Structure 1
Amino acid sequence: MRKTLSGFGLLAGATYPFRVLAVFRRTPRLWSYVAVPILMNVIVGIALYAGLLFFGWDSVTHLMDSLTHWVDSLITSLPRWLGILDYLIIGISWLLRLLLVLGLLLFTGFLLVQFGVLLGAPWYGQLSEQLEELRTGQLHIVEVGIVRDIGRAILFELKKLVLAAGVGIVLLLLNLLPGIGTLVATIGGIALATTIVCLDFLDAPLERRRLPFREKLRIVFRSLPASASFGLVCFGLVSVPLLNLLTIPLCVASGTLFFCDRVL
């Protein structure tokens, strides 16, 4: 079974964020390309977590307080023997609080990826070049000039936003349907986040070839299921608070290894 899954790439794709550690161990000079991005991630991460988690936790607390008051007012009109529902509601409220906080952590980690990859792009680009040359023995770059290069980077971010917003609206509407709609929206949300993460971490070698956005997206889909497991593991690694300050550079490097092995 394991051999079959590995043959399709499902297991192999998930291992790339860890394979790159062996490459760094054998090639210590590569660490010089991640030192500055890690420092930048620490600064950006502290700002994001301090801001979003503070206001997010405050919002969750207000929401839970409102829900508790509403339930208390509802229970007062019920027979006394139904007072046990109060304990049930307390348990549900804490479960909702936990789910909301987990969602907030995932969202914060997702934002950290966007800012971290964008700010660390010069260093990540050099790291990716070194890895590709080390892995394949050659380096392919299409030069377009600094102005066009900046324009492409801005367009790439805008197109990702359009993709996320377009699919996100559909998923939000599906979430209004009870039962199956919520399940489909949850799975779709994870798939969308995984796709965006794949685009981010595979972008360095793809952008060196100046591929259009749709071609980058097609490469992600053509690499399934390896790209799905790769993106899912990376999404998990960058969603863990504090750990993601270190794993973002590793995921960027593993994206280049994935490209060299499974796309080239």
Structure 2
Amino acid sequence: MLQILSGFGFLTGATYPLRVLAVLRRAPRLWSYLAIPILVNVVVGIALYAGLLLPSLRATEELEISLSNRLDSLLVNLPAWLGFLRFLSSGVDFLLDFLLIVLLFLFTGFLLVQFGTLLGAPWYGQLSEKMEELRTGKVEIVEVGIFRDIGRAILFELKKLGLGMAIGIPLLVLNLLPGLGTLMATIGGVTLTATIICLDFLDGPSERRRLSFRKKLSIVLTSLPASAGFSLVCMGLITIPLLNLITIPLCVAGGTLFWCDRVYPKLPKAGSQGKLNKTSGVPNP
């Protein structure tokens, strides 16, 4: 019954960013690991909002005016009995304005996640480690060396880019079909964005165990629908301007909690060769 009420885990997954607040209340020392990531996000956010968001808002406004003028020119010569179409055009204008602004904020928030987590990776890594240690009593790390570690980080970003292109380009083509094609492309675009965001926020504990990209993607898919609830809430949180400077670190911590609760128990027993317990510095039993 609880499974049904929680949407088979969807609603439970959606609560993880908020669960972090309860953990921080019980362990206030963790706030110190949020300070620098928030500062990094402020710097990156200022750059993105000043260099991208404000010019894009002006361009969006010009596009809206142009589309509105074209629509008005089509409606001006309509007979009186079709006058109701003018009211419909006002509704279309409002809906278009809303969708364009939401998509713009979502895109800006998505970029903030990508650049913010990349630049703040060392501090996000520490935050994730502390959350895992608090949740499971230990932190498991497979040591591979700094150069291989950097190579894995670069490869992870390239594979995310490849995934985005492999799915995003067909979606753009599908978007050329009016009506159903646009709807399917929109749903596909949201799903793709949510998947990449989920990969980012679950990456801390996954990368410490040096899982492959395919395994990381498999974790996202096999954790459905809980991972969908988690990623969609995170999408909403990173879309809100200024607030996302704070919510991104919360989503990183929430991703670690999600991983510890819903992924870790399903993994093979700890203690595989090369895996270390960081808290004790000895191989796991």
Q: May I ask how many residue pairs the two structures share in their alignment?
A: 264
RMSD: 1.9
Normalising by structure 1, report the TM-score: 0.92
How far did 1:91 drift? 4.2
Q: Aligned pair 1:177/2:177, yes or no?
A: yes
Q: Aligned pair 1:64/2:25, yes or no?
A: no
Q: Aligned pair 1:111/2:139, yes or no?
A: no
CA contact (8 A) 2:3 2:9 kept: no
1:60-94 residue CA offsets vs partner (Å, 9 max, x unmatched) = 22222322343444445555776765554344333
The one-letter code of the counterpart of 1:36 is I
Q: Which residue of 1 aligns with 2:96?
A: 96
* Unaligned runs of at least 5 residues, structure 1: none
1:196-215 correspondence to structure 2 within 5 Å: 196-215=196-215
1:152-177 residue CA offsets vs partner (Å, 9 max, x unmatched) = 11111111111112111111122222
Give the Cα separation in 2 of the matches to 1:136 and 1:220.
20
Residues 15 and 83 from structure 1, CA distance in 2 versus in 1: closer, same or farther, beyond 3 angstroms? closer
Q: Aligned pair 1:136/2:104, yes or no?
A: no
Normalising by structure 2, report the TM-score: 0.86
How far did 1:221 drift? 0.7
Q: Which residue of 2 aligns with 1:242?
A: 242
Residues 169 and 94 from structure 1, CA distance in 2 versus in 1: closer, same or farther, beyond 3 angstroms? same
Q: Aligned pair 1:11/2:11, yes or no?
A: yes
Larger displacement relative to structure 2 (85-94 or 177-186): 85-94
The one-letter code of the counterpart of 1:148 is R
Larger displacement relative to structure 2 (3-12 or 177-186): 3-12
Q: Aligned pair 1:191/2:199, yes or no?
A: no
Give the Cα separation in 2 of the matches to 1:18 and 1:147.
36
How far did 1:234 drift? 1.0
How far did 1:115 drift? 1.1
Give the Cα separation in 2 of the matches to 1:239 and 1:72.
32
Secondary structure, in 3 states, of the residue corresponding to 1:44? Answer: helix
Residues 76 and 37 from structure 1, CA distance in 2 versus in 1: closer, same or farther, beyond 3 angstroms? same
Residues 82 and 151 from structure 1, CA distance in 2 versus in 1: closer, same or farther, beyond 3 angstroms? same
Larger displacement relative to structure 2 (130-139 or 2-11): 2-11
Secondary structure, in 3 states, of the residue corresponding to 1:211? Answer: coil
Give the Cα separation in 2 of the matches to 1:179 and 1:7.
29
The one-letter code of the counterpart of 1:252 is V
Q: Which residue of 2 aligns with 1:121?
A: 121
1:212-261 residue CA offsets vs partner (Å, 9 max, x unmatched) = 11110011111111111111111111111111110111110111111111
How far did 1:17 drift? 0.8
Q: Which residue of 1 aligns with 2:151?
A: 151
Q: Which residue of 2 aligns with 1:160?
A: 160
Give the Cα separation in 2 of the matches to 1:36 and 1:124.
9
Residues 76 and 234 from structure 1, CA distance in 2 versus in 1: closer, same or farther, beyond 3 angstroms? closer
Residues 135 and 185 from structure 1, CA distance in 2 versus in 1: closer, same or farther, beyond 3 angstroms? same
1:92-119 residue CA offsets vs partner (Å, 9 max, x unmatched) = 3333122211110111111111111111
